[in-house]
Amino acid sequence: MARLTSYQSDIRPLFTERDIRAMSKAFDLASYDDVKAHAAAIYDRIRGIGGAVMPPPPPRGEGPWSQDRIELFARWMADGFQP
């Protein structure tokens, strides 16, 4: 049986310190509770829905996530937001 996707081992490492600082006024990407609470909005933004794609391209950010990262985030949501 496949291991469930978890915030701590799979999702948290996707957010850079730069991402965390950039989003700190809205919510804390380093916080499981905040990311879980805002998961739908984060998922939209990493796909460029509802505003500019996040993370922004250089020099303001590291650039958009790869499809693999986006799918990993979607899998975490589908797996029930494991801590």
**pLDDT tens by residue, 39-69:** 999 999 999 999 989 999 988 888 999 999 9
Residues 39 and 81 sit within 8 Å (Cβ to Cβ): yes
Residue with more model confidence, 37 or 2: 37
Note whether residue 83 is domain-resident.
no
Distance CA 72, CA 60 (A): 24
Overall number of domains in the chain: 1
pTM given for the model: 0.93
**Which pLDDT score, from 0 to 100, does residue 72 have?**
98
Q: Is the pLDDT of residue 2 over 80?
A: no
**Which pLDDT score, from 0 to 100, does residue 78 have?**
97
Note whether residue 2 is domain-resident.
no
What range defines the domain where residue 74 resides? 7-78
Q: Which residue has the tokens 């500019």?
A: 52
**Which pLDDT score, from 0 to 100, does residue 32 have?**
98
